Structure 1
Amino acid sequence: MTDDIRTKKLINAPEDIIPEAIEGMLLAHPHMLKVEGATGRAIVAKDGPRDGKVGIVIGGGSGHEPAFAGYVGRGLADAAAVGNVFASPSPEHIMDAARAVDGGAGVMFLYGNYTGDVMNFDMAAEECEAMGVPAHSFAVTDDVASAPKGREGERRGIAGDFFVFKIAGAAAEQGRDLAGVVAAATKANENCRSMGVALSACSLPQTGKPNFELGHDEMEIGMGIHGEPGMRRGKLETADEVAEELMEAILADMGLGHGDEVAVLVNGLGATGPLELYLLHRRAAKILDAHGIHIHFAWVGEYCTSLEMAGASITLLKLDDDLKALLDTPCRTPALTVAGDLAPAGSLTRRDHASAGTGATVDHDTLAKDGPITPARFRTMMLAMGAAIHDNRDWLSELDGVIGDGDHGVTMDIGWSAVRKELAEERRETVTEISERMAKAFLDAVGASSGPLYASAFRKAGAMVSDRLNLDAAATVAWIEGICTGIQSRGGAQVGDKTMIDAWVPAVAKAKEALHAGGDVIACLEAASAGARNGRDYTAEIESRRGRSAKLGARSLGHMDPGAASAHVMLVAMTDAARD
């Protein structure tokens, strides 16, 4: 990545960009929107949720404006859960939205098909069900460039979110039950296809650097909305040539025929203006006409962006009578208005969403006290891990920019900053209790995939040593093994997938070898660090099989996985702090 390229943004402090943007949005649309919930990340329609109606909650990472909060309003989404830039909202963000829209008929979550979003929204759906609120978690999969035909479930959700959200919101507005809303969204998703092209990179507010490299005369066909690589990179072509390539792929996948009817979305990615977008639509419309396909309605503009990325996407939704009626159902949101008479607003009865707490106290006198790692020392080790992630944040993001969306270091730093704040006050508690606090702080601060993965990791690690006050060598190794087990149980990755597991598994293996050889705590931690380093380096030799980088194939060779790199950073810091 070019080190001397810096981008310019009209922002204040990068860490304040999301709450300040939300505040600005509310000030711009006070008649439509409000914020509910303790997290401040649930934007709710003032006249949307009501008794007897399925609550529609959409969401995802920021940086795609007007998606997602721009589609909150009467007749579309009842609420949006707002994540950090390019990172999923956390389950608590999503639950704030769910609690605000629960009208007694169930809640439907809709989002793009990304690992972090799937995990976080699924966790929120599980929590809803535990409270007695029927919930359905739904991932949009419209991007034809991200997986071949026959593997549609692996595809990314990009601008097609626009159509699927609209259809689901209209179905709920018409009074359909949860199963009926799910059926409508499913039909829309199955008949929606998109493909995009990128002309330039975007940059994260926290780094101020382009999150991938693309030559001044190059374009990438099929690139995702987070900068994920597409199908091919080549020289910049004309608007007609680009439109033809995008449409060819979409039409081949959809199997549209003479007499079919579609809705069209030509979407700008942030830095491509209407003048160019209308050129793309011009050619796309002529291609459809040549095939005898009628356009029911077309939208041209910015509906799902990627910060300041230059480029565009084309989306088609094949219509039948029901989908057409749902598409035409009136709605009023900041980003989309479909004209027509809106039904009178109903009332929403506030429901008790309290869940039973754990509340069990721990008798410290019954816990094993042998071992040099006291809770106070353990807390110091955790703070050191967080500081190391902060110091390596930019490097980790640069690693991610090559094979992912460039935010891994930023996301991990957000999570660990929340942990460091949570642990700033020393309490009389066990390693297990510290680990539980870390899990909640990390998950509440970070959506993305890292939030659920490390929250599950910290909880499992703490459970592995719940019988101890102090950690000896065996308990330290058990805690590290719990991290690995927790990540695998939540995410399902295996060795060889090119993920953080490729560092954590050998770290556990080497730590156990040191333990069986009679090693003390330091020896076991040093062995774990060495194992993580070997695993990290190994990821550069293999192709990615999971996550956003899985679409790269052979192009991921030669680049280490940022998650594996951050695992090594944490273990080294943990080891150094244990020595002091």
Structure 2
Amino acid sequence: MNEQVSTKKLINAPEQIIQEMIEGMTGAHPDLLRVDGQTGRAIVAVDGPRAGKVGIVIGGGSGHEPAFAGYVGRGLADAAAVGNVFASPSPAHIVEAAHAADGGAGVLLLYGNYTGDVLNFTMAAEELAGEGVNVRQVAVADDVASAPPERKNERRGIAGDFFVFKIAGAAADLGEPLARVEALARAANDATCSMGVALSPCSLPQTAKPNFTIGAEDMEIGMGLHGEPGIRRQKLATADVVTDELMDNLARELALKQGDRVSVLVNGLGATSQIELYVMFRRVKQRLDALDVKIHASWVGEYATSLEMAGASVTLMKLDDRLQALLDHPCRTLALTVGAMEPVAEKGRVRRQPERTPDRSATTMEAARELIADGDITPALFRAMMQNVGDQIIAEKDWLSELDGVIGDGDHGVTMEVGWRAVQKALDDGPDNEAIEGICKRMAKAFLDAVGASSGPLYATAFLRAGTAVGNRLNLDSEALAAWLSAACQGIRDRGRAEPGDKTMIDAWVPAVSAALERAQEKGSTLDILIAARDGAKDGMEATAAMEARRGRAAKLGKRSMGHIDPGAASTYVMLRAMSEARERAVG
């Protein structure tokens, strides 16, 4: 990648940016918002949640402001779970938001259709259901550029969140039951389509570098909300030409005809002037007028941004009488106010505190004296291996983010760094007599709570499965080490539902485990097994360059994803390389 100039942002420490943003947001709007829960990532409507009403919980990564917390308030969302920049909130964040929103009538989770959000919200829903909460979920999928009509369920969610959240929030505010609120949210999702264009990249606070490159005279058609490349790159065109292309696709998708009604959102991505947005809206209206399609309501401005990206999207929702009535229902949030809200007698509600069982995750040597002691990887050495993984991931974070910037949103290195720093701290805080299964459980919780995104659930599941696989061991011998690696890989496959050839981390994990198991059968040492796994991961990582992505955000690129190494496969190689290095040092 070419040398890039650092970007400038008015921030303090990047690792504090979300906490400080939340403090500023709630401080500026104390009549609307408050923070609930221990994580500090659940933003709740002061006068939203109430007994007998379906709770509406929205959420996603930061960097899209005013989405998502900007839509928290009476008549819209009751709470938002706030993730790191361009990364899904973790299940812990989502669960706390749901607890604050739960009025006893059930909870509906709403989020964009991205792998990380789907994984984290699904894990949160499973936990809530286990507590007895009646929970449903809807993934917004409005971006017509990201998948054809026959694969609508694969489309990513962009600015269409605006309309889907509004419809669901209104239905809940009117006292509709959970099944009805969910059905109306899905109807809004089906009636909403978006498409956008980007003129410049954005930059993550942690890297201060553009997360993709684009020529001075180029634009990206169909750009994703996280900076993912669109369907094609072409020379910059006039506002009318660009808007016409967007409208051609939207009108065809919604089968617009004479007499139809729509609502319109022309949304800026963060660095687009109001002049440009209104010029685009002018053309949208001309096109709809030509079709004799009535605009019932319209919004022009920044409603779902991508940090400081220049560009815009157009969203249409095709209306029927029920959707129109819900769109017109009053709401009051910092980003959207419709009509006038009646005051509520009870402001806020003490959130339900679920019963918590004691944490029994740690498996200690004191509590399990029957553990098998054969093997040269002791718990102390295992911790040293994991600490070295953290060191190596942190050292390679810029490389990993650069790889991700080419085919994703550029945050993989940042996400992995955050997760492994949390793991390192958790390892330092753990008891000296903790067995390997307990260490794995500690790692899983730390990674998941810190990261969210897609990596959080995937590696949390990997660590939990791997720890369980060696739950009867004090030390790991060759066979047990191979079992640990195999279980970690299977956990990732089960949680992410990816298979070899999809161009994901699995393409490094599978050959790594295959090589490890083969060396174990040959009675190789633990070091032999780790070296084999490392080399297998390296081969698998390099092979991803020739693959077309079939999973994750890169899958929307089609053949444009070819020629580039998958960042998840690269971080897998770094992890296994670090484990083998630590084991080799112990031998020396």
The TM-score, its normalising length taken from structure 1, stands at 0.99
- Give the corresponding residue for 1:507: 512
Is 2:173 the counterpart of 1:173? yes
Q: In the alignment, is the contact (CA less than 8 A) between 1:131 and 1:355 conserved in 2?
A: no
- Give the corresponding residue for 2:537: 532
Amino acid at match of 2:475: N
Structure 1 residues 123-134: aligned runs within 5 Å: 123-134=123-134
Q: CA deviation at 1:349?
A: 5.4
Cα distance in 2 for residues equivalent to 1:94 and 1:345: 27
Name the SS for the 1:283 alignment partner: helix
Is 2:476 the counterpart of 1:471? yes
Q: In the alignment, is the contact (CA less than 8 A) between 1:461 and 1:479 conserved in 2?
A: yes
Name the SS for the 1:424 alignment partner: helix
Q: In the alignment, is the contact (CA less than 8 A) between 2:101 and 2:351 conserved in 1?
A: no
Amino acid at match of 2:495: R
Deviations 1:228-266 (A, max 9, x none): 121221000001111100000000111011000010000
Structure 2: gaps spanning 5 or more residues: none
Q: CA deviation at 1:2?
A: 2.9
Q: In the alignment, is the contact (CA less than 8 A) between 2:144 and 2:155 conserved in 1?
A: yes
Name the SS for the 2:523 alignment partner: coil
Is 2:356 the counterpart of 1:351? no
1:491 to 480, 496, 502: 496
Cα distance in 2 for residues equivalent to 1:321 and 1:447: 38
- Give the corresponding residue for 2:425: 421
- Give the corresponding residue for 1:395: 399
Cα distance in 2 for residues equivalent to 1:5 and 1:62: 23
Cα distance in 2 for residues equivalent to 1:254 and 1:322: 17
Q: CA deviation at 1:355?
A: 3.9
Q: In the alignment, is the contact (CA less than 8 A) between 1:329 and 1:340 conserved in 2?
A: no
Structure 1 residues 244-259: aligned runs within 5 Å: 244-259=244-259
Return closer, same or farther for 1:343/1:255 CA change in 2, 3 Å cut-off. farther
- Give the corresponding residue for 2:276: 276
- Give the corresponding residue for 1:18: 18
Q: CA deviation at 1:342?
A: 2.6
Is 2:562 the counterpart of 1:561? no
Deviations 1:89-122 (A, max 9, x none): 0000001101111100000100000000001001
Q: CA deviation at 1:343?
A: 5.5
1:410 to 407, 414, 419: 414
Name the SS for the 2:405 alignment partner: helix
Is 2:371 the counterpart of 1:370? no
Is 2:272 the counterpart of 1:267? no
Cα distance in 1 for residues equivalent to 2:350 and 2:171: 21
Structure 1 residues 207-246: aligned runs within 5 Å: 207-246=207-246
421-430 or 125-134: which moved more?
Answer: 421-430
Cα distance in 1 for residues equivalent to 2:574 and 2:247: 45
Return closer, same or farther for 1:463/1:328 CA change in 2, 3 Å cut-off. same
Cα distance in 2 for residues equivalent to 1:178 and 1:556: 40
Is 2:547 the counterpart of 1:547? no
CA RMSD of aligned residues (A): 1.1
Q: CA deviation at 1:518?
A: 1.7
Residues matched between the structures, number: 580
Return closer, same or farther for 1:351/1:432 CA change in 2, 3 Å cut-off. same
Cα distance in 2 for residues equivalent to 1:350 and 1:449: 28
- Give the corresponding residue for 1:570: 575
Cα distance in 1 for residues equivalent to 2:351 and 2:205: 37
Return closer, same or farther for 1:550/1:352 CA change in 2, 3 Å cut-off. same
Q: CA deviation at 1:426?
A: 4.8
Q: In the alignment, is the contact (CA less than 8 A) between 2:516 and 2:529 conserved in 1?
A: yes
Name the SS for the 1:536 alignment partner: helix
Return closer, same or farther for 1:449/1:463 CA change in 2, 3 Å cut-off. same
Q: CA deviation at 1:344?
A: 2.3
The TM-score, its normalising length taken from structure 2, stands at 0.97
Cα distance in 2 for residues equivalent to 1:350 and 1:269: 35
Name the SS for the 2:530 alignment partner: helix
Structure 1 residues 140-219: aligned runs within 5 Å: 140-219=140-219
Q: CA deviation at 1:356?
A: 3.4
Q: In the alignment, is the contact (CA less than 8 A) between 2:4 and 2:210 conserved in 1?
A: no
Return closer, same or farther for 1:350/1:66 CA change in 2, 3 Å cut-off. closer
Name the SS for the 1:540 alignment partner: helix
Q: CA deviation at 1:227?
A: 1.2
Amino acid at match of 1:380: A
Q: CA deviation at 1:341?
A: 3.4
Cα distance in 2 for residues equivalent to 1:82 and 1:333: 16
Q: In the alignment, is the contact (CA less than 8 A) between 1:397 and 1:410 conserved in 2?
A: yes
88-97 or 515-524: which moved more?
Answer: 515-524
Cα distance in 2 for residues equivalent to 1:74 and 1:303: 18
Q: In the alignment, is the contact (CA less than 8 A) between 1:331 and 1:342 conserved in 2?
A: no
- Give the corresponding residue for 1:523: 528
Q: CA deviation at 1:358?
A: 6.0
Q: In the alignment, is the contact (CA less than 8 A) between 1:103 and 1:349 conserved in 2?
A: no
Is 2:41 the counterpart of 1:41? yes
Percent identity of the aligned residues?
63
Is 2:139 the counterpart of 1:135? no
Cα distance in 1 for residues equivalent to 2:113 and 2:386: 32
- Give the corresponding residue for 1:5: 5
Amino acid at match of 1:544: A
Q: In the alignment, is the contact (CA less than 8 A) between 1:47 and 1:345 conserved in 2?
A: no
Deviations 1:306-342 (A, max 9, x none): 0000000000011111111111111110111112233
Name the SS for the 1:316 alignment partner: strand
Structure 1 residues 296-375: aligned runs within 5 Å: 296-342=296-342, 344-346=344-346, 348=349, 350-357=351-358, 359=360, 363-375=367-379
Return closer, same or farther for 1:353/1:342 CA change in 2, 3 Å cut-off. same
Cα distance in 2 for residues equivalent to 1:508 and 1:188: 44
- Give the corresponding residue for 2:291: 291
Amino acid at match of 2:486: E
Name the SS for the 1:244 alignment partner: helix
Structure 1: gaps spanning 5 or more residues: none
Name the SS for the 2:295 alignment partner: strand
Deviations 1:126-147 (A, max 9, x none): 1111111100111001000000
- Give the corresponding residue for 1:120: 120
Q: CA deviation at 1:351?
A: 2.7
- Give the corresponding residue for 1:453: 458
Cα distance in 1 for residues equivalent to 2:240 and 2:351: 53
Cα distance in 2 for residues equivalent to 1:345 and 1:538: 62
Name the SS for the 2:169 alignment partner: helix
Cα distance in 2 for residues equivalent to 1:142 and 1:352: 35
Q: CA deviation at 1:557?
A: 1.3
Q: In the alignment, is the contact (CA less than 8 A) between 2:47 and 2:344 conserved in 1?
A: no
Cα distance in 1 for residues equivalent to 2:415 and 2:341: 43
- Give the corresponding residue for 1:442: 447
Amino acid at match of 2:46: K
Q: In the alignment, is the contact (CA less than 8 A) between 2:35 and 2:42 conserved in 1?
A: yes
Q: In the alignment, is the contact (CA less than 8 A) between 1:90 and 1:448 conserved in 2?
A: yes
Name the SS for the 1:158 alignment partner: coil
Cα distance in 2 for residues equivalent to 1:365 and 1:72: 51
Cα distance in 2 for residues equivalent to 1:79 and 1:37: 11
Deviations 1:261-306 (A, max 9, x none): 0100000000001110000000000100000000011100000000
Name the SS for the 2:43 alignment partner: strand
Is 2:59 the counterpart of 1:59? yes
